[in-house]
Amino acid sequence: MSTSVPDGWFDTHCHVHDERTPGGADAAIDEARAAGVSEMITVGCDRATSLAALEIAANHDRVYATVGLHPHEARFGVESIDDLFAPDSTRGAKPVAVGECGLDYYYDHSPRDLQQAAFAAQIGLAKQLDLPLVIHTRDAWADTFDILDAEGVPDRVVFHCFTGGAAEARQCLDRGAYLSFSGIVTFKSATDVQAAASLCPTDRLLVETDSPYLAPVPNRGKLNRPAWVPLVGAYLADLRGVPTDGIRLSTAATARFAFGVTTS
């Protein structure tokens, strides 16, 4: 891997290994490079997708992977993924974070008690392994904060695809967390999310696509891809009244620090 620091965008959360990714992972990564995206993190949600993410990361420079158990998959138990954090030369890449994990009370694809147990266990893994924790929370802010506080907040926490408002943002920031904004922030109706993005300190602000989901305006409704993270960043720059280049450089630097992939 090159030791030079790239100056492109950093998509902190995508699922480029997902079979719905337009053109497939290799084509999507090439498209992203052409669009000025230097780095990305492809995120695992269960054992199969975590393994797929690690494989993609092993085969692409400056593509990183996480291992996690999404609340939808909590019924499978954290024991289904915990061995993927052990060193294994056959996989090549090492996970740069635990997650995505958390609580989703909107869909409740897994019982809430199992979601809570899996979330708590992954908080423990992040602390034990000194890795960042990537949190998914939907319709579950109170329990998310309660479990974090009870288990002890890891040193680095990222609230991915932030969908709260100013009050939730402040609670996250009070716990030392980073806020990662997706294409949702570009939606006309997302005034609460925009308020949160406006108040977030520069050194806690991240950008992501969550592709193939949540394509930003003007591509809303299409299958998303990492190449569109500059649209999210440009919107945030306009919202905050700062140059787009500043958002590009600051969010990339913050991502490298948050995920421990800082280069020299």
* pTM for this entry: 0.96
Q: Strand 157-159 relative to strand 178-181: parallel, antiparallel, unpaired?
A: parallel
Contact 197, 186 (CB under 8 A): no
Contact 122, 99 (CB under 8 A): yes
| Start-end of H helices in the chain | 24-34, 47-59, 112-129, 141-151, 166-174, 191-199, 229-240, 244-258
Question: Within a domain: residue 263?
Answer: no
- How many domains does the structure of the chain reveal? 1
What type of residue is 19?
E
Cα 228 → chain centroid:
15
Which residues span the domain enclosing 143?
A: 9-258
pLDDT of residue 264: 45
Tell me which H or E stretch contains 207.
strand 205-207
pLDDT of residue 262: 72
State how far the Cα of 119 lies from the Cα of 147, in Å rounded to an integer: 8
Q: Locate 157 and state its tokens.
A: 């926490």
State how far the Cα of 160 lies from the Cα of 137, in Å rounded to an integer: 8
Residue with tokens 């479990």: 147
Half-sphere exposure of 8 (CA within 13 A, CB side): 20
Tens digit of each residue's pLDDT (9 = 90 or more) over 214-264: 999 999 999 999 999 999 999 999 999 999 999 999 999 999 999 999 764
Question: Within a domain: residue 129?
Answer: yes
Cα–Cα distances in Å, from 162 out to 97, 194, 195? Answer: 17, 10, 11
Half-sphere exposure of 136 (CA within 13 A, CB side): 24
Question: Within a domain: residue 244?
Answer: yes
State how far the Cα of 231 lies from the Cα of 250, in Å rounded to an integer: 16
Contact 40, 228 (CB under 8 A): no
φ, ψ dihedrals at 147, nearest 5°? -70, -40
The answer on pLDDT for 13 being more than 70 is yes
Tens digit of each residue's pLDDT (9 = 90 or more) over 31-75: 999 999 999 999 999 999 999 999 999 999 999 999 999 999 999
The neighbouring-strand residues paired with 11 are 40
Question: Within a domain: residue 59?
Answer: yes
List, as one string, the DSSP characters of 93-110.
---SSEEEEEEETTT-SS
Contact 15, 210 (CB under 8 A): yes
What type of residue is 42?
T
Mean pLDDT of 21-32: 96
CATH of the domain at 197: 3.20.20.140
What type of residue is 69?
L
Question: Within a domain: residue 167?
Answer: yes
State how far the Cα of 119 lies from the Cα of 153, in Å rounded to an integer: 12
State how far the Cα of 128 lies from the Cα of 57, in Å rounded to an integer: 23
Tens digit of each residue's pLDDT (9 = 90 or more) over 93-115: 999 999 999 999 999 999 999 99
Question: Within a domain: residue 1?
Answer: no
